[in-house]
Structure 1
Amino acid sequence: MIFKVLYQDLASEVPVRENTHSLYIEASNERDVRFKLKDRGINIEFIQTLAGEHLAYEQQSEDFSLETV
């Protein structure tokens, strides 16, 4: 499955909408996503599963790039 992860660059940073970044990652579940990203030192705000039409919409974005971890 493909997940969209919304995060802040620093784990100590307070979530502010204007500073939120996103990345796309393939994993088996949300727990696996957190495990794969634990060494990056980022503050994960939200993890969203992408499937069907939502995934197709996100793939049309120029920012869509699947991370390999």
Structure 2
Amino acid sequence: MLQDTEELHRKLAELTQEHRELDEMIAASLQESNTDQLKVSRLKKRKLLLKDMISRLNSQLIPDLNA
């Protein structure tokens, strides 16, 4: 069980880092004068997916209070 928890924390850290990087990429893209809206849209969708994955992992790490 401890190994599973460590794996979840590792994965959570990876996803959080990727989420931050996407945020920076989106901000940089929006600063450009010839912004590729399709690219920004795809980055935002990926960022939203990562947010959902991070939320799921966080909920798995919180102990079940009804147990």
Shorter-chain TM range is under 0.3
Larger radius of gyration: 2
More helix by share: 2
Structure with a larger share of its residues in strand? 1
